Amino acid sequence: MPINDDLLRARKKVSSTRPKFVRQESWRYIRLAENWRKPKGIDNKMRKQVSGVPPLVKVGYRGPKKARGLHPSGYKDRLIHNIRDLEKLDPKIDAARIGHSVGRRKRIDIVNKANALGIKVLNKGNITQESIQEDQNKEQP
């Protein structure tokens, strides 16, 4: 059972009533993707919020404040780049996401330290005990 289960349920309830916001005329022209763009035309029906056209994105559709930024597992998603960043995390509420620019060697050190501290790593990738041992064997001549 994930932590912060009640917050995740509240977020899902709000999300289920939220409409799917689509770009105007995206249903009409194939060249227009469905991803949201704010309508800005002077006589634009969608901007004027005329009945019968899709709704605009508004702050009222936002999810619960406490549930924002939570990973689907219920942990707070924290970006880390080194081992010192790991030591600032609380294993009960925080999960680590290793930064994109972190290389393989430091990534292995971070994963090992996180396992020792009991911190969940969200983007471990294909780093397993076997790959760690292989890297250690390569370093020793």
Q: What residues does each domain of the chain span?
A: 5-64, 76-139
Each residue's pLDDT, cut to its tens digit, for the chain (141 residues) gives: 678 999 999 999 999 999 999 999 999 999 999 999 999 999 999 999 999 999 999 999 999 999 998 999 999 999 999 999 999 999 999 999 999 999 999 999 999 999 999 999 999 888 876 677 777 777 776
Reported pTM? 0.75
Residue 97 DSSP label: E
Q: Which residues contact 10 (CB under 8 A, 6 or more apart)?
A: 63, 64, 67
